[in-house]
Amino acid sequence: MDSFLELGLLVIVGFIAGSLNTIAGGGSLITYPLLIFMGLPAAVANGTNRIAILFQNIFNTAGFRSKGVSVFPFSIYLAISALLGSLIGAQVAVDIKGELFNRIMAVVMLLVVVYMIFKPNIRLTNITEELKGKKLWLSTVIFFFIGIYGGFIQAGVGFIMLVVLSSVNNLSLVKSNAVKVFVVLIYTIAAVSVFFVNDKINWKIGLVLALGNSIGGWFASRWSVNKGDKIIRNIIVVVVSIMAIKLWFF
């Protein structure tokens, strides 16, 4: 990070990513490739990105709670399950070779782009929430595996959570987002600890990126869930496709 231009770029991209992560997901599809292009090794870029995710979701959770949106203790059960899974995923991410990780990331990015293009609109009205019993257990098991994925890559995990919470537990999009940011906050603490122990975090870059993510997350969590989503999604589809091609071939 040798110039104010790079510092400013990190904050701006972080703001966009934080907003996008809060509205739906996919912000890491921008920040992770940016960190790679700035010269960080794959595992270090992955770990550094988690610092931004951690701070962003602290502000996200506070923002939702300031508006009276929380789903407890349901969120805690899912968070603990995802945390256990993230420890496995993060350790795999630390151990995997950089070139292989980049190619896996490229495939994941393209799959998420396809989902962003064709995903159905989630519109739930007058449907009873199912937060106990079999549906709670089902979600808890699913979130363990989501935690493994989130600990490994993170990119696009928000989309997966929204699909599960809306289809299995019948939560509204607003409540689903509130649960999502809390769960990501908790399991990211575990993931960061794994990357930290293995010395895979650039703290200077991570904290600057976290500033942008946190500001974006705070405003987006207090703003409307859907406004501007279509325009942002279209831009992300183009940018992420280009980045995925670069990750695979270069």
Q: Tell me the pLDDT tens digit for each residue of 147-205.
A: 999 998 887 787 788 778 888 888 877 788 889 889 999 999 999 999 999 999 999 99
Report how far Cα 190 is from the mean position of its chain's Cα atoms: 14
Which residue, chain included where needed, has tokens 């990750």? Answer: 247
Amino acid at residue number 93: A
**H runs (alpha helix) in 153-172:** 157-167
Q: 66, 85, 87, 75: which is closest to 183 by C-alpha?
A: 75
Query: What does the block give as tokens for 51?
Result: 């610092």
Report how far Cα 87 is from the mean position of its chain's Cα atoms: 16
Q: Residue 235 pLDDT > 60, yes or no?
A: no
Cα distance between residue 5 and residue 99, in whole Å: 28
Q: Residue 229 pLDDT > 50, yes or no?
A: no
Confidence band for 45, pLDDT divided at 50, 70 and 90: very high
- What digits encode the pLDDT tens for the residues 151-167? 988 877 877 887 788 88
> Which letter does DSSP use for residue 23 in this model?
H
Most confident of 9-13, 20-24, 129-133, 224-228: 9-13
